Structure 1
Amino acid sequence: MIFKKQDIFFSTFVAISNNLLKAAKEFKEEIHNPSPERTGFTNIQDYEKSGDRFTHTIIKELNKTFVTPLEREDIMNLAVKLDDILDGIEATLIRMDIYEFKDMNVFIKRNAEIILESVEEVGKSIEKLVSKRFLDIRPHAVKINGLENEADSLLNNSLRELVATCHDPITFIKYKEIYEMMEEITDACEDVADILESILMRNS
């Protein structure tokens, strides 16, 4: 399909969203069913490289396009925050690999599920953005905010459990860092939702 010049941003956002969803699915699968070969880890590195290329496309097009379908600042902020989600997924999996994580406990598994659910809602929001159904973005933004609140509660509960049961300082530090890195991914999803809601406000 050949997109008109003004649609290059929307088509790239769709590509970013699809790429991000693949990464979130791989991430969740790797957490729930860790593979000895870490194939998910390798794939997510590939998705991250693709994500960087898509972000570069947005920046390049912004630099040479006079009329854009949305505010330039909104386009840039959305691209950056979508990339932050993917960067967070890759960084967390790399850290798990470095720490040789074996025990994917209930907190980590639920966090991976929340991240995937959030990314799915981000994708649905992007679909509404591209079709300019701005008002239809709000239910997905609300869902993302609710998932981020759950992630906050999960972080608090996981830290309480860690303090109560973990007596090895190195293990404590490792789990605390992974819990916090995963919660930061849901924060990035919420940032995307906030940007989309601001776009909604300006275009409805």
Structure 2
Amino acid sequence: MFSSRKQDPFFISLQKIAENMREAIHYANNAKFESISDLKEISIKMKQYETYGDNLIHELIVMLNKSFMTPIEREDILALANRLDDVLDGAEHCIAHFEMFSFTELDESMRTFLEYITKSADEIVAAIELLNKKNLINMRKHIILIKDYERECDEVSRSSIKQLFLKEKDPIRLIKFRDIYDQLEDIADYCQDVANTLETIIMRNA
């Protein structure tokens, strides 16, 4: 366990990366997908979040390269940053497909996916805030919730795809819906990857 009470710049950097990711996920979840112009605006905004996230990761890598001492293994810091980036990249990529498909038909399954992913993003930030405070043990409850939400997304994926193949007769629409479902499930999986990385950090440092 860490002994210093001072906030570490590496943990502060990770928290900024996580908060930018969460803000992007909340934006996507709250956005109105009602017109082609909406899709374009949402896609541009998500790209801005993704670009800012890349800049934050670059700053962290520069700091890692310049620092002799790190609060935890530098490989764990970089792994956590990259897993957070995967969540944001996945969300940006998914929204880009909405825009490419001119897809303004968010169904109940997609909304449910987004709600669970948003909850996962909140839990990720809460866990990293505890990491910043060097309170590793209490991070576990947030990790458990992230994994619970990923399992819920698995169920949504199975049921939505089943219903899709039962009801949808248009092959083009079927392809579009299936693509979006798969990408949303991927984002939930990326959130679980963050949780797994946080578990590794706890195991090595608690």
| TM-score range relative to shorter protein | over 0.9
Q: Is the 2:33–2:105 contact (alpha carbons within 8 Å) kept by the matching residues of 1? A: no
Task: Give matches, 1:40-79, under 5 Å.
Answer: 40-79=42-81
Q: Is 1:187 the equivalent of 2:189?
A: yes
Match of 1:99 among 75, 85, 101: 101
Offset of residue 201 of structure 1: 1.1
How far apart, in 2, do the equivalents of 1:174 and 1:43 lie?
22
Q: Which amino acid aligns with 1:116?
A: T
* Alignment correspondent of 1:34: 33
How far apart, in 1, do the equivalents of 2:34 and 2:15 lie?
29
* Alignment correspondent of 1:178: 180
How far apart, in 2, do the equivalents of 1:47 and 1:94 lie?
13
Q: Which amino acid aligns with 2:43?
A: F
How far apart, in 2, do the equivalents of 1:42 and 1:104 lie?
19
The structure 1 segments of at least 4 consecutive aligned residues displaced by more than 3 Å after TM superposition are none
* Alignment correspondent of 2:120: 118
Offset of residue 14 of structure 1: 1.4
How far apart, in 2, do the equivalents of 1:62 and 1:102 lie?
42
* Alignment correspondent of 1:18: 19
CA deviation digits over 1:152-175, x for unaligned, max 9?
A: 110000100001001111111111
Q: TM-score, normalised by structure 2?
A: 0.92
Offset of residue 131 of structure 1: 0.4
How far apart, in 2, do the equivalents of 1:7 and 1:44 lie?
29
Offset of residue 40 of structure 1: 2.9
* Alignment correspondent of 1:162: 164
Q: Which amino acid aligns with 1:132?
A: K
Offset of residue 62 of structure 1: 1.4
Q: Which amino acid aligns with 2:177?
A: Y
Q: When the two structures are aligned, how many residues end up with a matched partner?
A: 198
Offset of residue 35 of structure 1: 5.0
Q: Structure 2: which 5+ runs fail to align?
A: 1-6
Q: Is the 2:143–2:199 contact (alpha carbons within 8 Å) kept by the matching residues of 1? A: yes
Q: Is 1:80 the equivalent of 2:82?
A: yes
How far apart, in 1, do the equivalents of 2:72 and 2:45 lie?
32
Q: Structure 1: which 5+ runs fail to align?
A: 1-5
How far apart, in 1, do the equivalents of 2:101 and 2:12 lie?
38
* Alignment correspondent of 1:132: 134
